[in-house]
Amino acid sequence: MKRNMLSAVLIVLSVSLFLVVSGCAPQEPELGTEENPIVWAFVPSGDTQEISAGGRAVADMIFERTELVVEASVATEYAGVIEALQSDPPSAHMASLATFAYVVAADRGVAEAELVAVRYGRPFYDGQIIAGADTGIRTLADLAGKSFARPDPLSTSGWIIPSLTIRAAGVNPDTDLSRIVDAGGHTGVITAVYNGDVDAGATFVDARGNVEEDFPDVYEKVQVIEVSIPIPNDGVQFHPSVPDDMKEQIIQALLEIAETEEGAEALGQAYQWQGLERHGDDFYDPFRQTLQAAGVDATALMGD
């Protein structure tokens, strides 16, 4: 009995070894197929359902042009997308990270910039620090002792640049703000300030338009007290493991999609993108220099 069992084990091992040596061993399905889709990770800068719907529509258009299967996935925060890119194997192959989060991911070797979004005719945007009209906050110095909402700890326009700006005005965001609230997105920040849940906050310019339909008086109740330096827009980045030819197919498809009426509508629904431009990692160097001048280490600030 034992000899028969031993013989069976030896047969299984022999067959397995033969399959490996002959190249017939089971392999992971090819990337870009139904069995192994290219995962494109988004973050909720606005309404999650709108981003998801727009992302799915763009993914379908990519398939029509390339026959590559892309799966749009909306994460809850920037850190989650970076973790997905860092996993082995990566659980995200494409991402649409904002500037600071991209710099962190690039410095960790898990993201490479290829496309940058265009809004209002330029690949840059501005951040804004806002406050409730009835809070008495008119200057950055007035933020001392006040509560503050941010979209995400890694949001460039919603925290990284505002925190440096606030600090430069003599208010230490770590100790002088009474409370910091993570609102889960720019729309959440506007809503929190509008409702009086917090005194102030920071978003991109002008996120108030995201809630104007529900709150027609938002421009009166939520006031802008500071506008930031120009910040590179978000865009499309790829994990280094994505083959160059596959990456190029997707890039060309997205550039074509952005030029169509249907594509522009879907990109606008997802991220208010009005176009796409090709830019590599060096596009972000001026922003890196801003961080360095302020003594900020992007990777250290994010933590492990």
Query: Which domains, and CATH codes, for the chain?
Result: 38-121+232-302 (3.40.190.10), 127-228 (3.40.190.10)
The sign of the CA dihedral 159, 165, 169, 170 is positive
Range 169-179 average pLDDT: 95
pLDDT reported for residue 8: 44
Q: What is the average pLDDT score of the chain?
A: 88
pLDDT reported for residue 9: 39
pLDDT reported for residue 46: 62
Kindly report whether the global pTM for this prediction surpasses the value 0.85. Answer: no
238 vs 49, higher pLDDT: 238
76 pLDDT band, cuts 50/70/90, is confident
21 vs 114, higher pLDDT: 114
The b-or-e profile of 117-133 (16+ CB within 10 A means b, else e) is bbbeeebbbebbbbbbe
Tell me the per-residue pLDDT of 198-237, one tens digit each, with 9 for 90 and over: 999 999 999 999 999 999 999 999 999 999 988 899 999 9
304 vs 280, higher pLDDT: 280
Element (H, E) at 246: helix 244-258
74 forms bridges with which residues in the sheet? Answer: 42
Q: CA distances (Å), 245 to each of 64, 85, 251, in order?
A: 17, 20, 10
Range 111-138 average pLDDT: 95
Range 232-257 average pLDDT: 96
pLDDT reported for residue 299: 67
Rounded to whole angstroms, the Cα distance separating 119 from 277 reads 11
